[in-house]
Structure 1
């Protein structure tokens, strides 16, 4: 009995078409669209101007003159402006003795205000949400923070919830990575990610300099974001996730301990930032880019990337890594239009800028987010994105690289494609015309850049009065 070639050909074609169609449909279901995001903006009475910052520092009676000078001079050179926001208990003078109620009040205000704004702008109801992810590194409550949101908005019983703690400043990207993996097996879903940090309950009262830094840099802030894999909402999406790479170098002892919550020798709890932080960032960033770049750069730039990678000893470069030299010889602008750098501090922003050969225009959003809102931990990236949007930089088809670093030590980066011109009003709306600031003068330098022992004693006496 011979084979019927025409019939076999037909079956073969049907087989191929079936599996190609199945593959394409499965790929379509794995998309991750961002529908909107809403950043938190504090009340005017909680703004930290120069004088209020100094007063808060002076209230710590455990410090000596050298510690006061160190803190004030760190603020002077931090790149942070006078309009960042402090938790309510800081304004009320309770930063050294926060209670559980203070922590919950701070979280409720940030989470509920951003969620309310997000739902109002998108037109969805709380009952429409299928997945909820909340990340706050320094506060773990029982019931969880996700449970507080579910109770407040009376969400469905079958909602999938995830409460992430201890993930550091890059937790926002981790939350999005979790959502995109859930989307692969749960079609046509809506997911909310809430990213913030508990500042009010984590003031450091001791005098170890590496732990005093967090008092100078971190401020209140956060963001809620709405995602979907439902293609019916594609036309409403503002961005599409195209690439995600997560890197963890926690196996290196110095990297593991460069950002860590500990107690000092006197028993005061705080967040220690060591000198190894920039080196850990460089190591994680180097490994991350090695995976990320082949996914985002054009072929001709990839050839140069291969050349750079193979003509130098990778391991020896990793051991002596410097953040400013991570992307040496590469031009990411051939595949990326905008760079959303975590506004963790001037050193990180400038280091990433130098390593990727970015212009002042490229790193301006991160600088301005740090200046206006401070380091808001996991929520910081979205203030940077908001700045780009408010400046009308984000056009359809643009690619955005989000670069985040976090305790552990982690480097988590992702690439977004802009789905439509982004120019809606956001948290920057009432002040964007004032940025970048035209005056180069730093009010902290004007008041405290000249600090000496006599001036510190005078400030302490004034505060005691």
Structure 2
């Protein structure tokens, strides 16, 4: 018998240990009960029950009281009614070559840079990053950046956010038939672009939401802010009864684009693309019937107390005063630590008892035999989780989590496909991935899905959902016109190999 089969047998025995013991014990008790006579029952009543009537009555009363108290005070379930991922118009598609063209014209339009005498090594640097990023030729960029010269203005940034946010919400309201006046809680997250009035105020104005709405605008919280927004909405729904919560997750690329010479800041230009998602949550009991998922757990990990973690993704000015987001070479190490802490917190909540026992024994063994046992046992999350939505922050992020969690290619297919088709859409990427799983028809009733988001700070946040029914893709899913083409075959060394040539601004 192979080690895999041995582990499966072990997992089955431990998981079903109660039932394996319960049925034989029930048979034994039933056998003894069948042999009891009327005299035995009378003897039991007069010798035991009459003398212990008060303690038994009190025990029964406390049991009933405790059960009622638990039912009344326990948090109400939070349901995911539906969600919508924004799909930009076809004319905003940009191949790798087109993106390179945007970089060239962006630098050409900068009066402080002499592009004619510019060292072209930066073009080669960006080209290599693009080709190895795992992204295809159908990702989307903002309309303003497609102009020549690219329009990197405040008004262009506002137009991008309005287009994405309003587009996602309009589709959501159309699909759910919910009246905007019914929304009691609004949470909008956008890390880089935070105008005044806020983006949440813009939503209230556009959709004429009611005046007593609980409105929140999360800024500067990075790519993991989508999971943070869900956690905040969950807490609010536990307080405010019988209402809806609208969560909007997006990022602004126009305001995010960097035109300087610092290569650690150039990297983000190659990864981020246009995208956003609108999610409708509710605590109304009647909404369970048509909802897709129930929120089971949220776990948030913040490693910002550590200086290296805090500075590994940071927005700042470069040597020439140009603003951009710098990515440190330590980001992989930092991300690994944050993920480990997050998993160690989430594990006891979702893992079966068989995996908890193995992890506990591994922990004891490591403390007793430090020299012989170097690494702790990594629990098999696939025994508890059916689908994984790993933030499509980049190919390396997906590779590391695939390896560390012992996942199969199909487990990270949604993440790789989302990165290839839409790029890194920041906090909304986990929703494009969930939409992919639905479009493939893989989400069955009772399935659990784990959304894992990483972001600046440094943070790792998780949300675990359970499917209430067999979930189909929503109308106007972003994968409607392309799901049959995925998954694509991505080469291990050079994920997307377009013939890219950039000379004098032509690509």
Deviation at 1:94?
4.8
Stretches of structure 1 lacking an aligned partner (at least 5 in a row): 449-454
The match for 2:287 is 233
User: Is the contact made by 2:227 and 2:463 (CA closer than 8 Å) also made in structure 1?
Assistant: yes
Distance change in 2, residues 1:310/1:289 (3 Å): farther
The match for 2:504 is 460
Q: Is 1:393–2:442 an aligned residue pair?
A: yes
**Aligned counterpart in structure 1 of residue 136 of structure 2, from 78, 81, 100:** 81
**Aligned counterpart in structure 2 of residue 427 of structure 1, from 466, 470, 478:** 478
**Aligned counterpart in structure 2 of residue 201 of structure 1, from 229, 252, 255:** 255
User: Is the contact made by 2:245 and 2:281 (CA closer than 8 Å) also made in structure 1?
Assistant: yes
Distance change in 2, residues 1:460/1:245 (3 Å): same
Deviation at 1:167?
0.7
Q: Is 1:25–2:72 an aligned residue pair?
A: yes
TM-score (structure 2 length as normaliser): 0.83
TM-score (structure 1 length as normaliser): 0.90
User: Is the contact made by 1:31 and 1:180 (CA closer than 8 Å) also made in structure 2?
Assistant: no
**Aligned counterpart in structure 1 of residue 354 of structure 2, from 300, 303, 315:** 300
Q: Is 1:92–2:147 an aligned residue pair?
A: yes
Deviation at 1:57?
2.3
* Correspondence list, 1:127-166, <5 A: 127-166=181-220
Q: Is 1:332–2:402 an aligned residue pair?
A: no
Q: Deviations over 1:158-189 (max 9, x none)?
A: 11000000110010100010011112221212
Deviation at 1:151?
1.0
Deviation at 1:7?
8.0
Deviation at 1:157?
1.1
Give the SS at the match of 2:140.
coil
Distance change in 2, residues 1:65/1:306 (3 Å): same
The match for 1:221 is 275
Distance change in 2, residues 1:213/1:461 (3 Å): closer
Q: Deviations over 1:191-249 (max 9, x none)?
A: 00000001111210111111000100000000000001111111111011111110011
Give the SS at the match of 2:82.
strand
The match for 2:497 is 445
| Aligned-residue CA RMSD (Å) | 2.4
**Aligned counterpart in structure 2 of residue 42 of structure 1, from 88, 91, 94:** 88
CA distance in 1 between partners of 2:324 and 2:490 (Å): 35
Give the SS at the match of 2:324.
strand
Q: Compare 304-313 and 71-80 and name the one that shifted more.
A: 304-313
Deviation at 1:385?
0.6
Stretches of structure 2 lacking an aligned partner (at least 5 in a row): 1-50
Deviation at 1:32?
1.2
Distance change in 2, residues 1:92/1:249 (3 Å): same
The match for 2:179 is 125
Deviation at 1:16?
4.0
* Correspondence list, 1:249-268, <5 A: 249-268=303-322
Query: Which of the pair has more CA radius of gyration?
Result: 2
**Aligned counterpart in structure 2 of residue 186 of structure 1, from 240, 247, 250:** 240
